Amino acid sequence: MEAVAIHFPGLGGPMYTHEKVTLSVVAKSIARLVGHRFAGEFDPKAHVAADLFFVPSDTLMLDEAQVLGIHSSQQLYGAVVPYPFVKTKAITHGLVGAHAPHPRGWSSAFADSIQSAVLPGYTAFCVGDARRAAVRLLPLGAVRLKEPLGDGGHGQITVESMGELEAYLANFPAEKLTSHGLVLETHLHRIITRSVGSTTIGNRSIAYHGTQRTVTNNHGLPVYGGSHLICVRGGWSALEGLPMEAEARLAVNQARRYDCNAA
């Protein structure tokens, strides 16, 4: 490979200007780290894909990755999935029943394998299943509804009754529900949100854990405002070898279980 380039996937969501700037800064940093030049945004007319290390703005679909000549994790800083829903929160919870509607490629086995690492919840792809999920969850308290494509705290709301759920569903596009689903899970109060993960660039790996902070956006709503992270060279085993409080260790163990089952 000769250069690092950013790429905007066909199914990627819209980006704010500051997000595009951040992506470029990340790509430039990677280029310096691996000793390659920064080629800017990928242009199929000006670049040879085989010569590039890609930094996409969003998860790539398998067919798009194949067109770009990406066949291994050594060729990009990101991920490749076979179906659009796999890159979203939708995979975190199971369906309300064995015969519930779901998109092609859905894996009930994955949701079952990580059940002990996530909150009680369901993913619904139709109004009826969303109602059934709420009926099961509301006795446990308020229910948080999450749009699978939302990030940074966007696309979430809590409901405390079936009436509130019905009002929400009445304004939720049916096509979006069918294609991307809706996540319903128990709502937690007075939470500490943790950032946990691992990442690899070439033959270099780091793992990290830390806590997120919330800020108020221009609309007066709380949104993700960054994380304070503790990083270590190496993968999950190196991270687990660090001293940390019990709550952080639990989060690391749960995140590792989720990550390993999703890989």
Domain boundary among 82, 112, 134: 82
Same domain, 152 and 204: no
For 150-179, what is each residue's pLDDT tens digit?
876 678 999 999 999 999 999 999 999 999
- State the Cα–Cα distance between residues 32 and 6, nearest whole angstrom: 14
Global confidence as pTM = 0.88
- State the Cα–Cα distance between residues 176 and 146, nearest whole angstrom: 12
DSSP string computed for 140-208 = GS-EEEE-TT--TTTTEEEESSHHHHHHHHHTS-HHHHHHH-EEEEEPPSS---EEEEEEEETTEEEEE
Same domain, 95 and 172: yes
- State the Cα–Cα distance between residues 176 and 131, nearest whole angstrom: 16
- State the Cα–Cα distance between residues 140 and 90, nearest whole angstrom: 21
Q: Which of 7-21, 82-96, 152-166, 241-255 has the least mean pLDDT?
A: 7-21
Same domain, 91 and 169: yes
Domain boundary among 22, 57, 82: 82
List, in order, residues 6 or more apart from 35 with CB less than 8 Å away.
none
For 39-57, what is each residue's pLDDT tens digit?
999 999 889 988 999 999 9
- State the Cα–Cα distance between residues 161 and 37, nearest whole angstrom: 55
Task: CATH number of the domain at 162, please.
Answer: 3.30.1490.20
Domain boundary among 34, 51, 82: 82
- State the Cα–Cα distance between residues 106 and 253, nearest whole angstrom: 25
Domain that holds residue 160: 85-186
Is the per-residue pLDDT at 253 higher than 90?
A: yes
Dihedral angle at the C-alpha atoms of 16, 259, 65, 55, nearest 10 degrees?
A: 40
Is the per-residue pLDDT at 220 higher than 90?
A: no
Q: How far is CA 175 from the centre of its chain?
A: 21
pLDDT of residue 152: 64
In the chain, the number of structural domains is 3
Q: What percent of the chain has pLDDT over 70?
A: 98
Is the per-residue pLDDT at 186 higher than 80?
A: yes
- State the Cα–Cα distance between residues 147 and 88, nearest whole angstrom: 9
Same domain, 78 and 103: no
Tell me the one-letter amino acid at 219.
H
